């Protein structure tokens, strides 16, 4: 129990009705300008535990293990593929390993305000890798239990497709993270 993060986002949602009543009562008693500062403070305080949870190496939301696996091996000009729906958050919280990488499968179309990493309609890795000329020589493939679609991994099919495109696995991490379901592959073009 001590090595796991105690905070879970659902605890905040369980207390939301009581907190909303308390905030509403307080807002009716305060001046509008002071009330707006109070609301901003409450929102910042409520969001901090979720952000801190991502920084905890033992958290299910943490990508620190992936960062440690990649940070010494990544080179400028490498590309990466990830279909995990939370990778945008991971890229923002842990920017170092992804700083010099080209994301091959962004979804810049509206209505998404930020890149949504996995292809909306399943996507195709062949389309991702045919960008310019022959494509990158080194590709990083990140897979976890939510790869491609919620709860369904297509890791083996994707790796076979990459092999058919001329890439071979040069290195793979052991399973990473507290739930041991994340894996990083380094693939080189033959």
- Which tokens hold the place of 148? 């491609």
pLDDT in tens, 135-147: 678 888 877 655 5
Q: What is the pLDDT of residue 188?
A: 92
pLDDT in tens, 171-185: 988 877 655 567 888
Which residue did the predictor score with more confidence, 3 or 10?
A: 10
State pTM to two decimals. Answer: 0.55
What CA–CA distances, in Å, run from 35 to 12, 13, 18, 39? 21, 22, 18, 6
Residue 115 backbone class (left: φ over 0; alpha: ψ -120 to 50; beta: rest):
beta
- Which tokens hold the place of 189? 């073009």
pLDDT in tens, 7-37: 555 666 777 788 888 878 877 887 778 878 8
> What is the domain partition of the chain in residue ranges?
9-54, 64-189
Q: What is the pLDDT of residue 169?
A: 94
Contact between 101 and 140 under an 8 Å Cβ cutoff? The reply is: yes
């Amino acid at each position: 129990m001590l090595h796991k993060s105690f905070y879970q986002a659902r605890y905040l949602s369980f207390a939301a009705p009581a907190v909303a009543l308390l905030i509403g009562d307080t807002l009716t008693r305060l001046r509008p300008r002071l009330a707006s500062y109070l609301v901003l403070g409450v929102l910042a305080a409520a969001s901090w535990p979720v952000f801190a949870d991502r920084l905890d190496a033992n958290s299910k939301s943490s990508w620190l293990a992936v960062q440690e696996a990649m940070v010494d091996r990544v080179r400028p000009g490498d590309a990466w593929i990830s279909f995990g729906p939370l990778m945008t958050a991971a890229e923002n919280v842990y920017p170092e390993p992804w700083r010099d990488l080209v994301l091959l499968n962004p979804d810049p179309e509206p209505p998404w305000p930020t890149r949504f990493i996995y292809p909306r309609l399943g996507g195709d890795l062949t389309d991702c890798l045919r960008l310019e000329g022959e494509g990158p020589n080194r590709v990083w493939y990140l897979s976890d239990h939510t790869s491609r679609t919620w709860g369904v991994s297509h890791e083996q099919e994707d790796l076979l497709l990459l092999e058919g495109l001329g890439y071979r696995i040069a290195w793979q991490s052991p399973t990473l993270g507290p739930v041991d379901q994340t894996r990083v592959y380094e693939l080189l073009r033959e």
